[in-house]
């Protein structure tokens, strides 16, 4: 019971790093002796000190129990191995929620601790920790970024009205929550049509996230989004670098060719193959994974969301649904390609929150 209580606290602490640790996981740590918490720590942001080191650095006591949400690292990366400090501080027992599947750790951290006479328990609350860190576990296990499809829709599943206006599809309360959701991800992705029709900024409004770097990814097969058009996606490059993907059937523009359109404003311009739905999404995810983009929030439009659905390349769906009906054939529909009734998209976990004016549905595959 005691172990569960402190492990839960370690997992709760890990959430303080939400939005800042990727491509690393969120990790929390608690040091306990004789039923008293001596110190705590969490991984604040990518490159910073690890949770267990942060917690152990603050104390001199030996014979403690260390609770951590993830197996400690045992290699030199941006910081020294955490197993070293655990051994140095003569920790007696280590309780871990999840073993780390990263090939550079993968049980080696646990082995080193045991070889040094430290009692190690692991596996309790593994599901909870994996759920919170689903971006990290997907990266390691599927070798691609975590993909979440997000849309603001009417109750009849429309993304826009007949004039292709989607600005007020959902009310302000849902729009604000949806904007804040971006903070949980490494990148936002959208299709060229949405960029042309809505001229979105694809940024986070709340000042609290001013130190967070968020990439913007635009699928622009024909390399048609010109800087001269004053699109918002060309602004604020420092905090929100924009990646462009273009078909490799289009003549390539040198990345430093300042006379070209996108290239001048973004050093991140990639050329990929086409597939039946547009640019090849598998290839795009491969490039982004290589660039350490751990998670992507796909913010439509309809065509792009449908491509991910058809390619079965997503891990989560989040719908912001306003209690209104739009109707009509000309309006853009979410999921208009569909699948067969015998092969529907099923979710392993779902969560629905109701507000006065709408719902938020969150379903993980």
CA neighbor of 243 nearest in space, from 210, 294, 295, 287:
287
Of the candidates 58, 222, 226, 312, which one interacts with ligand NAP according to CB under 6 A? 222
- Contact 232/201 with Cβ under 8 angstroms? yes
Residue 236: name the closest of 260, 204, 197, 259 by CA.
204
Q: Is 110 or 169 the residue whose CB approaches ligand NAP more closely?
A: 169
Least distance to ligand NAP, CB of residue 288, Å: 14
Q: Which stretch binds ligand NAP (CB under 6 A): 60-68, 117-125, 151-159, 323-331?
A: 151-159
The yes or no reply on residue 302 touching ligand NAP (CB under 6 A) is yes
* Residues in 324-343 that interact with ligand NAP by CB under 6 A: 332
Q: Which residues pair with 274 in a beta bridge?
A: 279
Per the annotation, the verdict on 52 as an active-site residue is yes
CA count, 13 A, side-chain hemisphere, 84 = 8
**At 26, phi and psi to the nearest 5?**
-85, 130
Length of the chain: 365
Pairing of strands 349-354, 295-298: unpaired
- Sign of the dihedral defined by the CA atoms of residues 147, 151, 156, 159, in that order: negative
Would you call 28 helix, strand, or coil by DSSP? strand
Q: Is 164 in the site for ligand NAP (CB under 6 A)?
A: yes
Residue 277 binding ligand NAP, by CB under 6 A: yes
Q: Say which of 52, 71, 299, 316 is annotated catalytic.
A: 52
Residue 11 · residue 132 · CB < 8 Å: yes
* Residue nearer to ligand NAP on the CB measure, 46 or 355: 355
Residue 152 lies near ligand NAP (rule: CB under 6 A): yes
How far apart are CB 114 and ligand NAP at their closest, in Å? Answer: 48
Among 27, 304, 317, 360, binds ligand NAP (CB under 6 A): 304
Q: Which residue has the tokens 């449908």?
A: 306
By CB under 6 A, is residue 194 in contact with ligand NAP? Answer: yes
Pick the closer one to ligand NAP by CB: 27 or 281. Answer: 281
Task: Give residues in contact with ligand NAP (CB under 6 A).
Answer: 151-152, 159-160, 164, 166, 169, 190-194, 197-198, 219-222, 224, 277-279, 281, 299-304, 307, 332
């Amino acid at each position: 019971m005691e172990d569960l209580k402190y492990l839960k606290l370690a997992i709760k602490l890990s959430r303080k790093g939400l939005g800042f640790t990727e491509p690393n996981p969120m990790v929390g740590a608690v040091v306990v002796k004789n039923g008293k918490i001596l110190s705590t720590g969490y991984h604040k942001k990518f490159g910073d000190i690890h949770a267990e080191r942060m917690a152990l650095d603050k104390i001199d006591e030996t014979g403690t129990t260390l609770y951590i949400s993830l197996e400690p690292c045992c290699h030199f990366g941006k910081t020294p191995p955490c197993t070293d400090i655990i051994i140095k501080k003569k920790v007696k027992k280590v309780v871990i929620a999840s073993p780390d599947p990263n090939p550079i750790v993968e049980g080696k951290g646990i082995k080193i601790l045991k070889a040094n006479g430290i009692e190690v328990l692991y596996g309790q609350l593994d599901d909870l920790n994996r759920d919170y860190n689903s971006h990290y576990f997907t990266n390691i296990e599927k070798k691609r970024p975590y993909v979440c499809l997000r849309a603001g829709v009417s109750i009849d599943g429309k993304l826009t009205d007949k004039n292709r206006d989607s600005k007020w599809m959902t009310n302000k309360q849902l729009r604000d929550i949806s904007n804040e959701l971006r903070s949980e991800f490494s990148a936002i992705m959208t299709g060229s049509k949405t960029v042309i029709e809505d001229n979105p900024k694809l940024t986070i409004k709340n000042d609290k996230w001013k130190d967070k770097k968020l990439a913007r990814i635009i699928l622009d097969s024909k390399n048609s989004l010109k800087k001269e058009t004053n699109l918002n996606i060309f602004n604020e490059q420092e905090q929100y670098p924009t990646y462009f993907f273009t078909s490799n059937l289009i003549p390539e523009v040198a990345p430093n060719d300042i006379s070209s359109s996108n290239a001048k404003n973004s050093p991140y311009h990639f050329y990929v193959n086409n597939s039946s739905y547009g640019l090849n999404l598998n290839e795009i995810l491969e490039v982004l994974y290589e660039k350490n983009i751990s998670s992507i929030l796909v913010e439509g439009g309809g065509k792009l969301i449908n491509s991910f659905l058809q390619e079965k390349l997503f891990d989560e769906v989040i719908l912001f649904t306003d209690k209104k009906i739009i109707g009509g054939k000309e309006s853009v529909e979410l999921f208009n390609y569909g699948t067969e009734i015998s092969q529907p998209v099923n979710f392993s976990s779902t969560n629905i929150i109701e507000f006065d004016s709408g719902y938020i549905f969150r379903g993980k595959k």
